[in-house]
Amino acid sequence: MIRVFIVAASPLAPSGLQSLLADRSVQVLGSAADIDSLVGLLADAEADAIVIDASGENAESILESLAGFDLALEVPVIVLAGNASPRWPAEVLRAGVRAFLPADVSVDQLSATLQAVAAGLLVFHPSEVNMLLPAPTPASQVLTELAEPLTRREGEVLQMLAAGLANKEIATRLNISDHTAKFHVASILGKLGATTRTEAVTTGIRRGLVLL
């Protein structure tokens, strides 16, 4: 049984959420109109989670209240929001909130979220994830960022670095001197902006220069 408190400005919201979760092994311990009122109730109960219905509420004031009482650090908090600004998901993460969902989330999703946050996990609705993650950079754009591209021989050497070969082994494979192999490695590091062989390989993989 998961025990929750509900915070909602509307007096209808707690009863609506309680009826939805009644058959989901969820016990609603109580409700409050705001976070300030909730603090006194929490002292006498052991809640597993707090559900905040923030639809239509001022986002900044809710976050300030959470930070002021450190509630999100003591009890997992789930925020249900309506039309949130693009920066709000990141801000609630910084405030310690464990889950951020649309106000119209289904009862199955809310029930699963309660289980997840009670187990210590973070939960975000797919519609909010794009706000948190930067847009991927096309591979073609990444490849053009090199001020000077690798030569064919340097590409071969980079591939051998990825295979873990030392300079002497690279020289033997390519039938070149140790000095020339060392020169190629130094040139690769410079072009990729790397300070170590490992960093050069990692950068090469990210840029699509190393075949795995």
23-73 per-position pLDDT tens digit: 677 888 877 877 777 777 776 678 888 888 877 665 566 666 766 666 656
Q: Are residues 103 and 190 in the same domain?
A: no
Give me the domain span that covers residue 64: 2-132
CATH number of the domain within which 155 lies:
1.10.10.10
With respect to residue 58, please indicate whether it lies within any of the assigned structural domains.
Answer: yes
15-35 pLDDT, tens digit per residue, is 667 676 766 778 888 778 777
Q: Which string of b and e fits 91-114 if b means at least 16 CB within 10 Å?
A: ebeebbbbbbbbeebeeeebbebb
Q: Are residues 104 and 7 in the same domain?
A: yes
Based on the fold, state whether residues 52 and 89 are members of the same structural domain: yes
Count the residues in the chain. 212
Q: What's the confidence (pLDDT) of residue 9?
A: 73
**pLDDT, tens only, 176-196:** 999 999 999 999 998 998 889
